[in-house]
Amino acid sequence: MVEKYMLENLINKYKNNDISEVVYRLTYAGKFIIIKGKTLCGSLIILRNTYDYYNPSNKKHENHLYKHLYNHYRRHPNMRFTIKILAKKDRKTGQYELLKREQMELDKNRFNKLCLNNAVEPYIPIYNESTGKYGWIDKPAVMNFNRWLTSKQRADYLKRYCQPL
């Protein structure tokens, strides 16, 4: 079945069975992108809605977060999207672990030509003084994540898994 709108089938699938605070791999026509979202369905809706306004010839969209995914989608219409859940918040996995997992996936796939992420670090929303959060992400999770980015543990991970192909 051809999707009338980008991601509509997955949005409908997860609308009533949503997953909160999640990191996932969205695959399309053999290529993929690593994404995190407050909810899986919500992040898919944001992807679809921003695609509706995306214009590759507009200078404003030159560095769009999902530029490579959208261009790939335009070049290969009528293919199927699939999702693989990489991590979700639960009793053992908090927001800090989600940020770390997303970064580790980005690091591991930095030189993978099938990876369409154009950012080398996870997107973290702007800090909101009134809520004390970075969008939906708690401040301590972001602070710990920023500390981890320069840690020996991450440096060791980069040495082991992040070599050019």
| pLDDT > 90? residue 4 | no
The Cα angle at residue 126 between residues 59 and 110, in degrees rounded to 5: 65
- Does residue 2 fall inside a structural domain? no
In a domain? residue 33 = yes
pLDDT at 162: 80
| Predicted local confidence at residue 161, as pLDDT | 84
Domain-located, residue 57: yes
Domain total in the chain: 1
- pTM for this one? 0.90
106 is a domain residue? yes
Rounded to the nearest 5 percent, the helix, strand and coil shares of the chain are 40, 20, 40
3 occurs within a structural domain: no
Residue 29: left (phi > 0), alpha (psi -120 to 50), or beta?
Answer: left
Q: Which domain holds residue 47?
A: 8-161
Please tell me the predicted confidence (pLDDT) of residue 164: 66
Residue 96 belongs to a domain: yes
pLDDT above 70: residue 122:
yes
**Residue 122: which of 94, 140, 96 has the closest Cα?**
96
pLDDT digits (tens, 9 = 90+) for 39-86: 999 999 999 998 888 888 888 888 888 999 999 999 998 899 999 999
